[in-house]
Amino acid sequence: MRLERWEPGPDAAGLHSAYVAARAVDNPAPPPLSTRVFTGWLAAGWGGEPREVWFVPGSGGAVDGWYRLVLPDLENTSRANLDLVVAPDARRRGLGSELLRHALARAAAHRRSDVIGVAWDSSAGETFARAAGATRELTEVIRVQDVRRSFPAASVASGYSLLSWDGPVPEEYLERVAGVNAAMANAPRTAGHEEPAWTAQRVQERFNDVFPVFGLRAHSVAARHDASGDFAALTTVYVDPDKPAWGHQGITAVIRPHRGHRLGVTVKLAMLALLRETEPGLERIETDNGETNSRMIAVNCELGYDVCGPAMGFWRLAVPQS
Ligand SMILES: CC(C)(COP(=O)(O)OP(=O)(O)OC[C@H]1O[C@@H](n2cnc3c(N)ncnc32)[C@H](O)[C@@H]1OP(=O)(O)O)[C@@H](O)C(=O)NCCC(=O)NCCS
């Protein structure tokens, strides 16, 4: 079997088709990424980390299977994150196993000891992960909110004020966004996960500089603590211009000293009002939460989110060292 390396460029049509066909079988909702966003995700990941993409060419320019191995370079440098997909009409012929063997060899070459992969529950991916000897680490549940109904207006606790922006983080907010990003350390993570050390420079380099690659529209709402000027809470929603009916929830976090003022619900309600103006075609927002993240889930349920489709399992496999 011949594997080829995919290099960032405009042509990811074959890989995208295999991904779309796989999603239709494994989990049809929410919809798969558009070609443009998928190509950006292959090229840059969501966080600009180093990565390799390898694929198996099929007939007539099609792609039978591919994997993307992300190699964290700042923290978590002993692990690699793996997405591995075989097109439905090429399955059960050993292609997935071959791609996995290759990915593990590449992970070993990069001195990684573990690979973390993701599979939808009750799909072929879950059976495949078990057959490969992987162990389950974490479960994330997808929830979807229909935004076409009415929501109460945001009412912010005294001592805080709301502000918003579209697109990259404005320079004057970089430091404060870094402070809120660090609050994600409380979300459920795989064992041994090292939290990113967020700084203004990192927000610039690993978000602002990477983000244009995807072609997504980003909308952010923050609650500022008036006395200190710090951001106490932040929420971001992304919209794919090629699929404007769906929004994708990015970060929502409230930093610890400011919890207990309903700031999570408040920034999300303010976001809904903002989206009504800026994204008139928006119908739904999808979010994924660790199944044990009870506070975030309670906020989402209060805002009408319902579970959508199967959960996502995170699977760990040790990298054989030669
Ligand atoms: C999971 C996936 C990559 C498997 O690809 P594949 O080419 O069919 O895998 P293989 O033929 O190498 O299968 C290896 C073993 O996995 C298990 N397996 C895979 N698919 C299975 C299925 N549908 N039912 C039962 N067992 C299955 C079997 O044990 C199989 O060995 P066998 O055929 O000798 O019984 C493919 O179904 C896929 O792309 N799924 C969506 C993405 C995903 O979930 N990726 C996994 C990330 S961990």
63-70 and 51-57: which strand pairing?
Answer: antiparallel
Work out the angle at residue 114's Cα, subtended by the Cα atoms of residues 40 and 110, and round it to the nearest 5 degrees: 65
> Which candidate, 99, 21, 103, 17, places its Cα nearest to that of 62?
17
Has this prediction a pTM greater than 0.75? yes
Burial of 260 per CB tally in 10 Å (0-12, 13-18, 19+) = exposed
Bridge-based pairing state of the strands 51-57 and 4-6: antiparallel
Does residue 186 register a pLDDT over 70?
no
pLDDT confidence of 77, banded at 50, 70, 90? very high
Backbone angles phi, psi at 201, to 5 degrees: -65, -40
CA dihedral 243, 244, 245, 248 (to 10 degrees): 80
Backbone angles phi, psi at 121, to 5 degrees: -60, 145
DSSP string, 44-72: HTTT---EEEEEEE-GGG-EEEEEEEE--
Q: Is 100 in the pocket of ligand 1 (CB under 6 A)?
A: no
149 CA distance to ligand 1 middle (Å): 40
Q: Identify the pLDDT of residue 233.
A: 96
* Residue 192: per-residue pLDDT: 81
Instruction: Indicate if the pLDDT at residue 223 is higher than 80.
Output: yes
The pLDDT, as a whole number, for residue 94 is 97
For a ligand 1 pocket test, name from 102, 128, 314, 316 the mutation site with the most ligand atoms within 8 angstroms of its C-beta: 128
Helix or strand holding residue 67 (H, E) = strand 63-70
In which band, very low, low, confident or very high, does the pLDDT at 321 lie, cut at 50, 70 and 90? confident
Backbone angles phi, psi at 38, to 5 degrees: -60, -45
Instruction: Label residue 185 by pLDDT band (50, 70, 90).
Output: low
* pLDDT at res. 268: 96
Whole-number average pLDDT of the chain: 94
Query: Which pLDDT score, from 0 to 100, does residue 47 have?
Result: 86
| Position with higher pLDDT, 10 vs 239 | 239
Q: Return the ∠ at Cα 155 (arms to 154 and 160), rounded to 5°.
A: 115
Where does the pLDDT of residue 11 fall: very low under 50, low under 70, confident under 90, or very high at 90 and above?
confident
Instruction: Give the contacts of 228 (CB within 8 A, at least 6 positions apart).
Output: none
pLDDT value at residue 84: 98
| pLDDT, mean of residues 271-294 | 94
Given this model, what pLDDT does residue 187 score?
65
**Residue in 30, 25, 24 with CA at minimum distance from that of residue 308:** 30
Q: Once rounded to an integer, what is the mean pLDDT over residues 173-185?
A: 88
CB atoms inside a 10 Å sphere around CB 201: 11
**Tokens at 57, concatenated:** 């060419």
Nearest one of 204, 141, 210, 145 to 177, comparing CA atoms: 204
pLDDT tens, 188-213? 777 788 878 899 999 999 999 998 88
Distance 126 CA to ligand 1 centre (A): 8
Record the tokens describing residue 14, joined without a space: 């074959």
- The answer to whether 137 and 191 are in contact (CB under 8 A) is yes
* Ligand 1 mean position, distance from CA 78 (Å): 26
Strand 306-307 relative to strand 135-146, pairing: antiparallel
N-terminal to C-terminal alpha carbon distance within the chain: 22
Per-residue pLDDT at 37: 93
Q: Please state, in angstroms and rounded to a whole number, the distance separating the CA atoms of residues 59 and 318.
A: 33
Tell me which of 322 and 265 has the higher pLDDT: 265
pLDDT tens figures, 247-282: 999 999 999 899 999 999 999 999 999 999 999 999
User: Which protein residue has the closest C-alpha to ligand 1 atom 43?
Assistant: 125
Amino acid identity, position 240: D
The average pLDDT across 154-166 equals: 97
Question: Tell me, what's the pLDDT at 28?
Answer: 85
Residue where the block lists tokens 């697109």: 167
Q: Which atom of ligand 1 is nearest to the CA of 93?
A: 11
Q: Report the distance separating Cα 69 and Cα 129, nearest Å.
A: 16
State pLDDT tens for residues 31-75: 899 999 999 999 988 888 999 999 999 998 899 999 999 999 998
Q: 3 C-alpha vs ligand 1 centroid, how far in Å? A: 18
Buried residues in 56-80 as b, exposed as e (16+ CB within 10 A): bbbeeebbbbbbbbbbbeeebeebb
pLDDT for 176 beyond 90:
yes
Closest CA to 141 of 16, 255, 301, 256: 301
* Pairwise CA distance, residues 118 & 69, whole Å: 12
